[in-house]
Structure 1
Amino acid sequence: MPAKKENPIHSLIAGTTAGAVEAFVTYPTEFVKTRTQFGGQREGPLAIVRETLRSKGIVGLYSGCSALVVGNATKAGVRFVSYDHFKSLLADKEGKVSAPRSLVAGLGAGMTEAVIAVTPSETIKTKMIDDAKRPNPQYRGLVHGTASIIRQEGFFGIYRGLFPVMMRQGANSAVRFTTYSTLKQFVQGTARPGQQLPSGITFGIGAIAGLVTVYSTQPLDVIKTRMQSLSARQQYRNSFHCGYRILTEEGVLRFWTGTTPRLARLIMSGGIVFTIYENIISVIGGREQE
């Protein structure tokens, strides 16, 4: 039977939609995760939620949300299109992709999305969250915040932390796609040929992929957040210096700060993204016969 491949336009539509929905639904966990990773006094997730709701209301939990929604939609679109492209290049004659090749395809997709979408949106989001906890925040929204960062630091100010973001996204996508595709192939092997997996099964597989991703890439996420904070230029020379200072001054466990809220987000996001993506692809007929 001829293998099926993803139509790039349909893959882009499905990925972008899934990314936007996932970012908005899970944003409060991203807000809390980012706040816990800044330097200084440690704050627990529940304490951050209580303080934010008391001082700014529920809107406060969405500080910097617009940056992540736009960036996540772009990121997800780029991720699925580039992953599908790399996967098609690495597939065997029957159209199947082994776990090691899926890992390479995911790594390539992660690196691509880091440069095109993730670094700018993550930098802006992180600075807006950092700014929001000040008594008198200077950023009035996504457009004003972006313009202010570029005016103060130049265009490359929104690319601060590019290296740890590339490392994190490469590792994220490599682990996430490999786990997802391996589990999906295993489950499909037990189903009838041509049978589409139920949304509940897809959600569960995506959630497991998110769980594995969190624990294996959390140190890179912490370094990324520190390098994108408002005080990064005064504290760290580069990503390696940042990692060294965290290790020697705060201890190795500090690299797993924010694991709980990030775990909550990636379990949900893995399930949401893959479920929405697969369903949209199914509806619009996004896979073609090779």
Structure 2
Amino acid sequence: MTRQGGKQSEGLPNNAAQGYLSAALSGSLSGGAISVCVQPLDVIRTRMQADATRNALSGAVGTLRKVVSEEGVRALWNGTGPTIVRLSVGLGLQMCVLESLKEAFQWRHVGSAEETKGHSPRKLTKFEAFFCGGLARTVAAAATCPFTLVKTRMEYTGGGQAGQGMVSMITSIARQEGAVGLFRGLGPTVITNAPYSAFYYLFYTSLKERLQQHGAPQAAINFTSGTIAAIAATLLTQPTDMLRTHMQLSLAGKGTSLGLRETWNAVVGGKMGHRVLLVGVAPRALKRTLQTALVWTVYEELQPRLKQALTRAK
């Protein structure tokens, strides 16, 4: 945004590039580091959701025991490679898009430099927070869908019968199923992740604003807000996560690609009926809560420091 004549407006952010870069780096670092810690919860969730469609559900504890006894403790970290890539790239992109959207909304009514002297960016409305969180995650989820697909399959099979690594598995999927095969489950991936982040960011910003009025330490405010927001957003988006797992594992049959409606009918058509849509909610809620709350806590602490360091370096 510029003043009349092309110069930058006083009162507007004058380090946008540093802000976007620090947001991307902070998101990547926090996401990549924390993803390793919570990966076992993803493995358990994926196994539970896959087993449920075959009427072989044994609960979170039973699934954990089965994985460890049959495949060893290391199997709990199946899919860690694509998880790290997915979260590092995805969260970096998400935070960068989020910061740009926030800035656009915060300063959209700003006019010339003379009109903005002494003004601060306004707070986002609830709708703007919901929109920014959802759109930022939509972009990131779509861009990283191939890694989500590989992650899900590795969590279920450990990399396939040949014990494939991430790169070889991506190559194999592209060769056998075509490039479009790498984006299998994109629909439910987006309609799980976008509403999750939209609801999360809405709840997170609202809770943080309320808690800040009580003068608690900022890190505690960030973590508490993130925890409550993550639990609520997880419960609201659980059914579509079940559909995503089903589609990406091709559980309707080897090599079979079903549409969203056919997948829904296949998932809820078993003995459990619509209850199957909530399978895996406990490990997913715990994983999402820990991951999201920790990521945002680290991000909120790291991003301002990185931005300041990048500005000084310039």
Same fold per superposition (TM over 0.5): yes
Shift of 1:197: 4.3
Amino acid at match of 2:129: S
Q: Indicate the residue corresponding to 1:212 in structure 2.
A: 232
Q: Choose which of 134, 137, 140 in structure 2 pairs with 1:110.
A: 137
Q: Choose which of 16, 20, 24 in structure 2 pairs with 1:8.
A: 20
The count of aligned residue pairs is 281
Contiguous gaps of at least 5 residues in structure 2: 1-10, 110-120
Amino acid at match of 1:163: G
Distance across 1 between alignment mates of 2:294 and 2:222? 9
Shift of 1:285: 3.3
Structure 1 residues 99-143: Cα deviation after superposition (integer angstroms, max 9, x where no partner): 1110011111121011111x1111101111222397xx2332212
Q: Indicate the residue corresponding to 1:98 in structure 2.
A: 125
Q: Indicate the residue corresponding to 1:132 in structure 2.
A: 158
Amino acid at match of 1:142: M
Q: 1:182 to 1:126 in 2, by over 3 A?
A: same
Structure 1 residues 203-240: Cα deviation after superposition (integer angstroms, max 9, x where no partner): 11111111011100000100000000043465662112
Q: Choose which of 72, 89, 100 in structure 2 pairs with 1:85.
A: 100
Tell me if 1:68 matches 2:80. Answer: no
Provide the TM-score with structure 1 as the length reference. Answer: 0.89
SS at 2:258 equivalent:
coil
SS at 1:157 equivalent:
helix
Contiguous gaps of at least 5 residues in structure 1: none
Shift of 1:60: 0.6
Q: Which runs of 4+ in 1 moved over 3 A?
A: 2-6, 230-236, 285-288
Q: Within 5 Å, give how 1:38-77 maps onto structure 2.
A: 38=50, 39-40=53-54, 41-77=56-92
Q: Choose which of 148, 165, 169 in structure 1 pairs with 2:189.
A: 165
Amino acid at match of 2:298: I
Shift of 1:257: 0.7
Tell me if 1:246 matches 2:246. Answer: no
Is the CA contact 1:32–1:261 (under 8 Å) kept in the aligned structure 2? yes
Tell me if 1:203 matches 2:229. Answer: no
Structure 1 residues 34-92: Cα deviation after superposition (integer angstroms, max 9, x where no partner): 11111211131111211221222221101111111110111111111111122222226
Provide the TM-score with structure 2 as the length reference. Answer: 0.83
Distance across 1 between alignment mates of 2:257 and 2:23? 39
Q: Indicate the residue corresponding to 2:299 in structure 1.
A: 277
Amino acid at match of 2:261: F
Tell which structure's C-alpha radius of gyration is larger.
2
